[in-house]
Amino acid sequence: MNDSIENNAAALRTRLKELRKAQSPHDTRRGALLIRGRLYTWLATTRAALQAAGRPTPTNVAAFWSMESEPELQPLLAQWVEDGISVSLPVISAADSPLQFRIWTPGTAMQTSPYGFEEPVGLAAPLPDIILVPTLGYTRHGDRIGYGKGYYDRTLAALKAKSHAFTSIGIAWACGDLSGQDHTPAAHDVKLDSILTDKGWAVPAPKLA
């Protein structure tokens, strides 16, 4: 990636952060509630349909611990654990490496990562059936703008390299929509299977059943 592309990407990230910061607390609370509801309904109906068809159901969800500016997922994660879903959270093991995932439950001890988000302290998680990806900006084709460190691109690429079947869902605010803008993904960017925002599915919900 040349300097001009890097500079453009940095400026875009700054603008997207300003847009989400400008949202009202009421809108972010309501939007996060809608995201949690849609995710819960999607996974529940998908699992029920697969079970009725006698097919394996997704049981391992790699989520993320939402930071202040991101849609709050924590109540949903606790509900999934109560429903028997295995929930894991990302852990940074080394710079420039794929993320690792550790099992999380409401009683799991947490530690703060070098990047300021909470990581679980505990057992390694199984490979995810579903991975939720924090998404700053997005296109309707599944392209994602993240925070610029490349951890999720490396992680998704590593899972694909293992020929592991999984579904990736970006979690974003609708203000991150890059439709109509001149955005060219970098060569290392990995497309997401779906993207969910506070306004609905920006990239249609995955159909696993």
pLDDT tens digits, one per residue of 83-112: 999 999 999 988 889 999 999 999 999 999
CA dihedral sign, ordered 205, 151, 73, 14:
negative
In a domain, 208, yes or no: no
Pairwise CA distance, residues 57 & 43, whole Å: 10
Question: Directed axis angle between helix 25-52 and helix 74-82, to 10°?
Answer: 30
In a domain, 117, yes or no: yes
In a domain, 111, yes or no: yes
Q: Are 98 and 154 in contact (CB under 8 A)?
A: yes
Phi, psi of 49 (to 5 degrees): -65, -40
Show the domain range for 145: 3-203
In a domain, 139, yes or no: yes
> Any idea what the CATH number is for the domain that residue 175 is in?
3.40.50.10420
For each of the chain's 209 residues, which pLDDT tens digit applies?
Answer: 444 445 578 889 999 999 999 999 999 999 999 999 999 999 999 999 999 999 999 999 999 999 989 999 999 999 999 999 999 999 998 888 999 999 999 999 999 988 788 999 989 999 999 999 999 999 999 999 999 888 999 999 999 999 999 999 999 999 999 987 877 777 778 999 999 999 999 999 999 86
pTM of the model: 0.93
In a domain, 14, yes or no: yes
Pairwise CA distance, residues 64 & 67, whole Å: 9
Phi, psi of 118 (to 5 degrees): -85, 135
In a domain, 149, yes or no: yes
Pairwise CA distance, residues 54 & 123, whole Å: 30
In a domain, 209, yes or no: no
Q: How many domains does the chain have?
A: 1
